[in-house]
A and B are shown apart, each in its own frame.
Chain A
Amino acid sequence: MSAALNSTAMDLTPAPGAAPGLQMVLAQAGAEGRALIRNGEQLLLTLIIPLLLLSMLSLEPIVNFGAGISRIDFMTPGIMALAVMSTAFTSQAIATGFERRYGVLKRLGATPLSRVQLITAKTLTIVAVELVQAALIIAVGLMIGWRPDAAWSAIVVVPLLLLLGTAAFSGLALAMAGALRAEATLAAANLVWIVLLGLGGVVFPLTKFPAGARHVFELLPTGALSTGLRDVLAHGVAFPVGNTVTLLVWAVAAIALAARVFRWE
């Protein structure tokens, strides 16, 4: 194969300049989105597994909750919490870990894109993925027979809970990816996902655990998010104060931790 470069005259005269900020952010968000679509495991984690769990566990009595509500009404808010954890925590931690490993973040540091713009682009991508997840979960849930019992305020409270959950999980993801090696991040992020799938009130009701354990699990971000969403969407609670405060504390602490431990290369 010929490796010869073609010296066809191209104007290499310096003409430096950064593109407009919005264009850079959208370009980077587009690249992040494409990377996600290109990556089969990430799609499995963020879309396919949550939807499979939702439909399988709602249709077949694999899990017996006795939570006083129908299986699908219990499952849909839990799967929403799982979807946020998959995207903002596990998927982001793994992707960022490998970006660091491959020097991608280091190389981006030499472009006109600033760090704030990079974080903005990543956040936009996560929010876009979560919108797709939410639309699909709601559509599949309604098809299977989900009938939310919620106050009108849910239109504001549910997005607020999802947003706080996203902030908390993103902070934890960046802290983990910034401090550990890529392989360690991969292993740990998956482990945390599995553990919180079981102990986060996603598919097993936390009420089935002894009271002491239950209170601890409800203080974890996944437990706080799933319980809060379920209170709003299945039990008609207007505003789950405790869970919201828990998520807010996690969000502030996790982002502060990420800011301290994150290394770009």
Chain B
Amino acid sequence: MRTVAKRSRRRLASVALSSAGPAPSAGETVAAVEISGLVKRYASVIAVDGLTFTAARGAVTAILGPNGAGKTTTIEVCEGYRAADGGTVRVLGMVPGSRDLRPRVGVMLQSGGIPPAVPAGYYLTQLSRFHAHPLPVPRLLDMVGLSDAARTPFKRLSGGQQQRLSLAAAVIGRPELVFLDEPTAGMDPQARHATWSLIGELRAAGVSVILSTHYMEEAERLADHVVIIDHGRVVAEGTPGALTGSAGQLRFRAEPGLDIEALVAALPAGALAKESPSGHYVVEVTGGEVDPRLLASVTAWCADRGVLASSLRIESRTLEDVFLELTGKDLRS
């Protein structure tokens, strides 16, 4: 054992000497998560249907999708809880859930996992004993705002506090990669922002983060890469910027019931307009940007009809616009 440890230390030292800057060591060229053609069925239901995407090392990857899209199933296959029915999944280049992989990966389940009677601080201390270089428990409690609740049993914590304890448990072993399944569900705005800043700090420290979420704002703020999935397939992926495009919409308010067809006819080719909801108008250019000419033609058209356009603004589409466009507006259970 001793000679093995020595040898690996020497190898680390030689890597450090030979690299001038933060050159990637051999391990870091491996993706955080690589999913190819993943299929998962429950009885007759296909939860994941040929899903393929790659999450880069050291980046925050957000998996977005409506309820039942296959987010949790995908994450739980990566965590090693469920066996894939088809396709391949590699986590840090290894088979999910394998013994050598588990210490390197932190997991935050969507709910549960912590015994109800166990106090928060004791739970983290207990978990820290499974790890070689755990984060110090008092500082971790402080970081997630639970110092005052260290002696409170899990069942008496508020929903947001329970989530934060679960988040702390995911990072206590100083993992290279964390899976966060809807980390801010049920949190109040303060706790949510604080969780976002912790995720930002993880990223800054070089930790890879895979998170699933319903919150577009969360994905837009945090993610380097967004994967939108629906019916168990990837429907779109890219950086938040690439997905939303820039300066894609002109919005204004005016009296309800303007003649949309006449408006479109007056605009440069390629422009589209809609009233949604009543009295709120959106003008978009397919595959293009809102330019001064478009702005001028909209205001000129309004002026010709004696319509006063108010709250006129140019903005990019939100991720929510993209998301609803791709996944539809039907309610999902």
Provide the residues of chain B in CB contact with A31, threshold 8 Å. Answer: 118, 126
CA distance A15 to B142 in the complex (A): 20
Question: Given A16-B131, A102-B113, A114-B99 in contact, is the A10-B143 Cβ separation under 8 Å?
Answer: yes
**In the assembly, what is the distance between CA of A11 and CA of B99, in Å?**
25
Cβ of A150 < 8 Å from any Cβ of B? Answer: no
Chain B's nearest CB lies how many Å from the CB of A10? 5
Which of B79, B103, B136, B195 meets A5, CB within 8 Å? B195
Instruction: Indicate whether B300 reaches chain A with its CB closer than 8 angstroms.
Output: no
Residue of B nearest to A9 (CB): B201
Q: Can you spell out 6 A-B residue pairs with CB atoms less than 8 angstroms apart?
A: A13-B205, A14-B104, A31-B118, A38-B118, A102-B113, A102-B116
Q: How far is the CB of B117 from chain A (nearest CB, A)?
A: 5
What are the residues of chain B within 8 A of A103 when measuring CB–CB?
Answer: 109, 111-113
- A107, B201: Cα distance in complex, Å: 24
Among the stretches B37-45, B66-74, B168-176, B271-279, the one at the interface with A is: B168-176
Nearest chain B CB to A228 CB, angstrom units: 36
Q: Say how far B195's CB is from chain A's closest CB, in angstroms.
A: 7
Residues of B within 8 A of A12 (CB): 135, 171, 174, 201-202, 204-205, 207
**Closest chain A CB from B202 CB (angstroms):** 6
Residues of B within 8 A of A14 (CB): 104, 174-176, 205-207
Q: Does A195 lie at the interface of the complex (its beta carbon under 8 Å from any beta carbon of B)? A: no
Of the listed stretches B13-21, B186-194, B251-259, B304-312, chain A binds: B186-194
Taking CB atoms, residues of chain B closer than 8 Å to A3 are: 145, 160-161, 164, 187-188, 190-191, 194
Q: How far is the CA of A223 from the CA of B97 in the complex (A)?
A: 42
Query: Chain A residue with minimal CB distance to B174?
Result: A15
A12 to B200, CA, bound (A): 11
Which of A17-25, A130-138, A204-212 touches B?
A: A17-25
Contact among A4, A5, A107 for B113, CB-based, below 8 A: A107
Top 8 closest pairs, chain A to chain B, by CB: A17-B132, A107-B113, A5-B194, A103-B112, A27-B129, A12-B205, A110-B107, A3-B191
Could you tell me if A6 and B142 are in contact, using CB atoms closer than 8 angstroms? yes
Residues of A within 8 A of B151 (CB): none
The chain A residues found within 8 Å of chain B, CB to CB, are 2-8, 10-19, 23-24, 27-28, 30-31, 34-35, 38-39, 99, 102-104, 106-107, 109-114, 265
- The number of residue pairs between A and B whose CB atoms lie closer than 8 Å in the complex comes to 148
Give the residues in chain A near B97, CB-CB below 8 Å. Answer: 109
Instruction: Say whether B105 contacts A110, CB under 8 Å.
Output: yes
Q: Does B198 contact A (CB under 8 A)?
A: yes
Residue B114 at the chain A interface, CB threshold 8 Å:
yes
**Interface assignment of B197: CB less than 8 Å from any CB of chain A:** yes
B236 close to A (CB within 8 Å): no
A17 touches B114 (CB 8 A): no
Say if the beta carbon of B9 comes within 8 Å of chain A: no
Q: Mark B91-128, 1 if CB is under 8 A from A, else 0.
A: 00000010100111101010111111110001000110
B26 to chain A, nearest CB (A): 15
Task: Please report the C-alpha to C-alpha distance between residue A30 and residue B127 in the assembled complex, in whole angstroms.
Answer: 12
**Chain B residues within an 8 Å CB radius of A4:** 145, 190, 194
